[in-house]
Every structure is written in structure tokens, then in C-alpha cells.
Amino acid sequence: MKLDEAKEKFIQAWGTLGSNWGISRTMAQVHALLLVSPEPLSAEDVMEQLQISRGNANLNLRALIDWGLVQKELRPGERKEFFAAEKDIWKVFRQVVKERRKRELEPMLEVLQTLSKVEGDRRDREVKAFTDSVDGIYKFAGKADKTLEKLIRADENWFLGSVIKLLK
């Protein structure tokens, strides 16, 4: 397989993966493109290689920066901005975990806490089913939150080493 064909396939596959996980296809494709580029790319480069508009390129590059997956690079004497993705996939993974924890898990914990204060007789089947379910999820989410916090703090080797070893 030729490089260009392989690149194209990779970009497609990464885009599909992204859209399965609630990330827009194009954002994942921009990420994929930067992942396999040896040099940082300009917005123009991204537009050309993915055949997308300027506005779209800008939007998705900014979103990737928000997620902490891409960084701007300025070159002395050049006005144009260049963009480079973090290449270490372990770091990428940890960063995504970190962001999703902040954006989704923590807000969910607050909602669950609120919901556990529902009024009503615990002997009521409806009430009991509800509180049991919410309590179970709340406990699970709390444990997940703590676990992920440790994971984020843990260094690469720790994750590569200990967890894998533990699980074997």
C-alpha cells in the first residue's frame, strides 16, 4: 500500500472511531492528519488535505486545542500559525480521559447527588426502584471518578506497567 492511500485510510478510520465516541468526524480527521504529519501544518494545509472550508478547519483546530490534543506553533518571522498534535498516544488517551471526566463525569455526579434527595416513602416500589438505581449509579460514578483521577496522575510507565501486570 502506498503512503497516501494508507494515510487516507487512517484518516477515515480515525474519523469513524471519533464519531462512534461522540466526537465529530471532521474533528477526528483533522486530529488524524496531524497525528501522522511529521511537521506542523497550517490551516491552509489542513483545508487542502481534507478538502474542507477555512471556517471548518478553524473551528475544528480550535476544538482540538480546547481538548488539549493540539498545540499552536509560531515560527519566527512568519505570520501564519502552525498546528501540531501530541503524538504520544498514551498522553492523548490520558488527556481525553481528563477532559471527559471534567466535562461529563463531574456534572453527572452533581445531578445524581441532587436526585438522591427525592421525596417519598421508601416502601413505595416506585420510589425504591428509583433511589436504588440512582444510588447504585452514584456509587459507581464516584469510584470511577476516583479511579480516573489516579489514572490521570499516574505516569506513563505506571499505566503501561502496573495495570497491565495486574490484569494478566
Partner DNA sequence: AATAACTTTCAAAATATTTTGAAAGTTCAA
Partner DNA sequence: TTGAACTTTCAAAATATTTTGAAAGTTATT
| AA identity, residue 118 | V
Residue 101's binding partner, choosing from DNA, a second copy, none, with beta-carbon cut-off 5 to 8 A by kind? Answer: none
Q: Does 93 contact a second copy by CB under 8 A? A: yes
Which residues pair with residue 85 across a beta bridge? Answer: 70
> Distances in Å between the alpha carbon of 38 and those of 58, 87, 99?
20, 10, 26
Contacting DNA (CB under 7 A), which of 42, 45, 64, 67? 42
Residue 59's binding partner, choosing from a second copy, DNA, none, with beta-carbon cut-off 5 to 8 A by kind? Answer: DNA
Residue 125 to residue 127: CA distance in whole angstroms: 5
Q: Which stretch binds DNA (CB under 7 A): 51-59, 107-115, 124-132, 156-164?
A: 51-59
In three-state secondary structure terms, 63 is helix
Residue 136's binding partner, choosing from DNA, a second copy, none, with beta-carbon cut-off 5 to 8 A by kind? Answer: a second copy
Q: Does 62 contact DNA by CB under 7 A? A: yes
> Distances in Å between the alpha carbon of 141 and those of 19, 68, 96, 118, 152?
24, 24, 17, 19, 16
- Interface positions with DNA (CB under 7 A): 19, 24-27, 42-44, 51-56, 58-62, 77-81
